[in-house]
Amino acid sequence: MLDPALLRTRLAETAARLKETRGFTLDVSAVEALESQRKQLSTDTQELQNLRNTRSKAIGQAKAKGEDVAPLMAEVAGLGDKLKANELALAEVQAKLADIALLIPNIPHASVPIGQDETHNQEISRWGTPRSFDFAVKDHVDLGVRHGWLDGEAGAKLSGARFTVLRGQLAQLHRALGQFMIDLHTREHGYLECNVPVLVNSDAMFGTTQLPKFEEDLFATQVGDSRRYLIPTAEVSLTNLVRDTIQEADALPLRLAAHSLCFRAEAGSYGRDVRGMIRQHQFEKVEMVQVSRASESYAQLEEMVGHAEKVLQKLNLPYRKLLLCTGDMGFQSSKTYDLEVWLPSQNTYREISSCSNCEDFQARRLQARVRNPETNKPELVHTLNGSGLAIGRTLIAVMENYQNADGSITVPEALRSYMHGAENIA
């Protein structure tokens, strides 16, 4: 969430910036009215507390002198009732202000291009040359049905639409990709491998901003009075590891990575990419998270994007890097790069990784802090997250870019040691 000071001291400026960059309309009059109530109630509450303290001391003095204290005690009792009513009213106003703040998106970094949607994203670079085929290109579904490797009907039978069963060599290739990615990030990029829960409580989802705004996009479970959520990405679990902590400065940046199952209900996206594995309710991903000091976070973002790019380069998959515009960024992001991999069957690039700097937007909810070595005081950290990569989409890209005329698929050299030396799957 945004720094509350922005809503108290720079409300008009903040509202204008949100409107310009995010198309978000902040109800300034409502915030002003609530803030005015908050200030008045705070002042009244403080005055009542001071008056009650003064009268309580007077009671003690009167008792010591043997004087009648009944009138003073009646007055103090009345002040207590007024104070309780004021405190309840103040808490109600503060809750209303908090409810407004929780729905306000992060303010984009000044370097982010202003735009309404993906058509205004800025292409930064391209890597690799899309392959030219001398035969009719098949998509991953047609390639996958060979030998029953990719079975959407079985997935639907077990769980419903947007679930897929992988078998045989294709399942092995999918597993190899996950192992290759986590090995690369831990052995070459300095991430600490973590195995984290995929079922988390509401505090964890709140901390990384999935709640309350995006609850309809989540899968939830209810056992008795306990409600838990299936993670949409390991970002949730990894980032929450620093919730309610104070890190020492020399321990940052923290680099954490996890290979996990991910679950997304994706309410409102019905009908998009329903063929095959492009958009699934259950998928696997290798997630990267960094926790950084504020002064270093943008350098860490560039580093993280490079780590995601390295996966594609080692697999020799053509891709392009985009800087997302203000209208296409996630709710919690201050700056986001997307990597899009080339899919021959679609003759276009499709998203395979998204890397974001959230600055202190998540950290404020998480109360994730670092001790400033110069002042010895805690300060909010910056949190970053990135896909390194989405395994199912990487599998699709490998299948399509490495397909052969006979329907077999060449195994990229980087994966062969994970495939017991196999050079192709057929």
CA separation for the pair 323, 340 (Å, rounded): 11
Active site residues: 264, 279, 351, 354, 393
